[in-house]
Structures are given as C-alpha cells and as structure tokens.
C-alpha cells in the first residue's frame, strides 16, 4: 500500500494503522523521491502496489489539485493499482473538482471527507501560538465544528481498503462526536493544562498576515482564506456518522484527545 504524506498529520497515522493491520506500507514523499507536482516521479512509487492513500501536501481544493489527482489516478489505474482513497474536506466546495477528477480516473475510488482535525490544535502552526503566546488567533468566529481525531481517519481508510469492494465508489463523511466552537475547544485545552489560554476571532482578511508569517507563499494565501470563508460559514456545524458506519463505534471524543496531549506536555510553554 502506498501512503502519500506518510510523515504528515494523517499519513503517519494511516501508515501505522495499515502496518498494524498487516499491510505492507510504501511511504511516498519528497524524501523517498515522490513529488505530487512532478508526474515523472509517480510510476516508480506506484508500480507493484495494489492500493494508495492520497493526501495532498496543499489543500485538496487548491489550484492544481484536481489536475494532479486526476493524472495520478489515471497512472495508478494503468499500473494496476486497484484502490485509491482520497482525503477530502467536509463541506469544501473547492474540493469537488478534485473528487470528480478521481472519479473519472478509471481507478476504484473512495473519498473520505473529513471534518476539521482535532490534531490541528496539537500539531502545526496553531499549537505554537497556544504554547508560546497562550492565544489562538483564527478566523472562525463563533462557528461550531465537530473536531475529528485523525486516528479515526486512519482507521476508516484502512477499513475501506481491507473490506473488499464494500466502500469502492463511495464517499464517506467523517466528524467527531460533538460540536464545539473554537473558543470552547481552547477552553477545554486550558482546563486540561491549567493555563489561561484564550481564543481571539479575526476576519479572514486580517488572518492573511498570519498565514504569511507561517510561511505560506503569497500566491496561496488568497486561496486559503477563500477556503476558510467556505468551511467556516456554519455549513459544517453538524455531526456526521461516517466513523460509526464504517467502524461500528463512536468517534474518539475531543476531550480524550485533549487530556492525552496535555499529559504529553503538548501545550507547555
């Protein structure tokens, strides 16, 4: 099984879950010679595999994503890669062309539309704000989101790939167990750490400066803020039951995630 982004937030968990299920994992990243934006690097990684997990390094709705996924899907199908699972985003209109490109590739596909990751609070640029400044600045207002543990994504992906054709040609929509605003999520982290952490809502226009500070290239900033405007307009303020449908259990709770990360010292300054 090929796992793109195997060192990333979801790919690392997919790789571990696949290995735990007895699958042989082939990591695909620039470190191993695979580049999403260079098609000449794909065949060597894909050849001989029977399945692949596709997680783009940029957003699934970013410019060029649909073309890359469609082309890789066609190449994978031509090389005999039987199943492809694409990580997509719940409620993201910009991701639909990428999903459609996968549908048209000729491969047997499954799309996993995920809610906002719980691990966005513990990995990546947001955690540094909480850890060092004690404040999360983000353009989410008071919108509620059912934060999803990425370990549940991994379990769903591996189950989809090891269940024959049961999930082929299907779109699975995943979320966590309950709705929380970003302020409420930060309050749960504050309670678990004993630190006076706060959340400050800003407009997406104001957040563009923060993205530049995170090292996001200027040409990507406008696209990312447009995606935030889409995802954080209230359309995702509901719970989806995809985790229970596939795994037969409830998703991991955000509070459990917070307690685990607090115990590990994730938010210690």
**Confidence class for position 209, pLDDT limits 50, 70, 90:** confident
Domain assignment of residue 198, yes or no: no
* The pLDDT value given to residue 201: 95
Q: What is the CATH number of the domain that holds 245?
A: 3.40.50.720
Domain assignment of residue 134, yes or no: no
Domain assignment of residue 256, yes or no: no
Domain assignment of residue 61, yes or no: yes
Whether 91 shows a pLDDT value over 80: the answer reads: yes
Domain assignment of residue 56, yes or no: yes
pLDDT > 90: percent of the chain: 87
CA-based Rg of the chain, rounded to a whole angstrom? 18
Range of the domain at 61: 2-117+147-175+238-251
Q: Answer whether 180's CB lies under 8 Å from 255's CB.
A: no
* pLDDT tens, residue by residue, 25-48: 999 999 999 999 999 999 999 999
Structure tokens given for 257: 């995630």
Helix/strand/coil percentages in the chain, nearest 5:
45, 15, 40
* pLDDT tens, residue by residue, 53-89: 999 998 999 999 999 999 999 999 999 999 999 999 9
Q: State how many domains the chain has.
A: 1
Whole-model pTM: value is 0.95
Listing from the earlier edge strand, what are the strands of the sheet with 108-114? 26-28, 2-4, 51-54, 83-89, 108-114, 170-174
Domain assignment of residue 261, yes or no: no
Domain assignment of residue 133, yes or no: no
Domain assignment of residue 207, yes or no: no
* pLDDT tens, residue by residue, 178-195: 999 999 999 999 999 999
Q: Answer whether 151's CB lies under 8 Å from 252's CB.
A: yes
């Amino acid at each position: 099984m090929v796992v793109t982004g195997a060192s990333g937030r979801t790919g690392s968990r997919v790789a571990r879950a696949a290995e735990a299920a007895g699958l042989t994992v082939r990591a695909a990243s620039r470190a191993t010679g695979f580049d999403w934006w260079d098609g000449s690097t794909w065949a060597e990684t894909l050849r001989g595999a029977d399945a692949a997990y596709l997680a783009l390094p940029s957003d699934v709705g970013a410019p060029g994503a649909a073309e890359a996924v469609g082309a890789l899907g066609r190449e994978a199908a031509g090389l005999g890669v039987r199943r492809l699972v694409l990580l997509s985003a719940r409620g993201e209109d910009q991701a639909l062309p990428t999903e459609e490109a996968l549908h048209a590739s000729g491969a047997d596909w499954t799309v996993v539309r995920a809610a906002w990751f719980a691990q966005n609070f513990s990995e990546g640029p947001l955690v540094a704000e909480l850890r060092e400044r004690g404040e999360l600045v983000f353009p989410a207002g008071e919108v509620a989101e059912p934060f999803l543990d990425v370990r549940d994504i991994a379990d769903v992906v591996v189950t989809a790939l090891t269940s024959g054709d049961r999930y082929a040609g299907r779109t699975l929509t995943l979320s966590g167990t309950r709705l929380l605003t970003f302020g409420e999520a930060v309050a749960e982290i504050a309670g678990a750490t004993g630190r006076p952490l706060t959340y400050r809502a800003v407009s997406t226009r104001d957040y563009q400066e923060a993205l530049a500070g995170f090292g996001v290239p200027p040409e990507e900033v406008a696209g990312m803020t447009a995606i935030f405007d889409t995802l954080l307009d209230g359309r995702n303020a509901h719970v989806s039951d995809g985790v229970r449908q596939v795994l037969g259990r409830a998703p991991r709770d955000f509070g459990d995630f917070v307690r685990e990360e607090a115990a590990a010292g994730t938010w210690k300054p």
